[in-house]
Amino acid sequence: MDRQFHYFLAVPIAKDQKSYLHNWVVQHKDQYPFKSWVHQDDYHITLAFLGAVASPQQLANLKNQVSHIAQSHSPFELSLSGIDVFGKKESPRILWAGINESSYLHSLQRQVFHTCIEVGFSLDKKPFNPHITLARRWKSEVPFQYTNELRHIFEADKQTFLADKIHLYKTHLDRIPKYEAVEIFSLKG
């Protein structure tokens, strides 16, 4: 089975917000020298990183269970918050756009996470911190300067989008964009 590919489940970002984030990246890329920038078509909010799939049956079981979860959840609104980082503040490993608190998103993630474990995936147990990765690996000798402006950087009218799907993505390390949606589950509850 696709052992060379890694899979993950995620909420896709709406087209307008992808464009908005991409425009921010284009305007600020030179100011923030990261080694790699995420292609705008790869923007998403990860619900569960699965890694390799053991068998076709494991993948089929997962698709079946996630389909049931999607049918029990209604679409809900999400909104972008500011920019932040993971890793050392002076040389972060990830630059990301945050998502404002959403009990709907947390509920969806919990169900997806537990289902993945039931189907046999070993998942990272870190607390869920919804975000959209924009860049990876700080590459400057000059320390990263985090400012309070980054916390509230997005215009209010550009922030909100409808979360109405879960995508099962397959990762292709040899191409850009890297992520291929191999299954789409519409929220219908």
Domain count along the chain: 1
What is the CATH classification number for the domain harbouring 47?
A: 3.90.1140.10
Q: Residue 1 pLDDT more than 50?
A: no
Judge whether 2 lies within some domain. Answer: no
Amino acid 153: pLDDT: 66
Q: How far apart are CA 163 and CA 44, in angstroms?
A: 11
Judge whether 1 lies within some domain. Answer: no
Judge whether 49 lies within some domain. Answer: yes
Query: Nearest to residue 83, comparing CAs of 28, 30, 15?
Result: 28
Judge whether 177 lies within some domain. Answer: yes
| Rounded alpha-carbon distances, angstroms, from residue 70 to 13, 22, 155, 165, 180 | 16, 28, 30, 8, 19
Instruction: Name the residue range of residue 135's domain.
Output: 7-186
Determine the average pLDDT of the residues in 87-112. 95
Estimate the crossing angle of helix 103-119 against helix 56-72, to 10 degrees: 150
> Is-catalytic flag, 106?
no
Query: Nearest to residue 134, comparing CAs of 39, 48, 49?
Result: 39
Task: Report pLDDT digits (tens) over 45-75.
Answer: 999 999 999 899 999 999 999 999 999 999 9
Task: Report pLDDT digits (tens) over 152-177.
Answer: 666 555 688 999 999 999 999 899 99
Amino acid 82: pLDDT: 84
Q: Which structure tokens are listed for 69? A: 């979860």
Judge whether 21 lies within some domain. Answer: yes
> Is-catalytic flag, 131?
yes
Cβ atoms 131, 98 nearer than 8 A: yes
Judge whether 148 lies within some domain. Answer: yes
Judge whether 39 lies within some domain. Answer: yes
Catalytic choice (44, 114, 167, 172): 44
Kindly indicate the confidence band of residue 186, based on its pLDDT and cuts at 50, 70 and 90.
very high
Catalytic choice (68, 73, 106, 131): 131
Judge whether 128 lies within some domain. Answer: yes
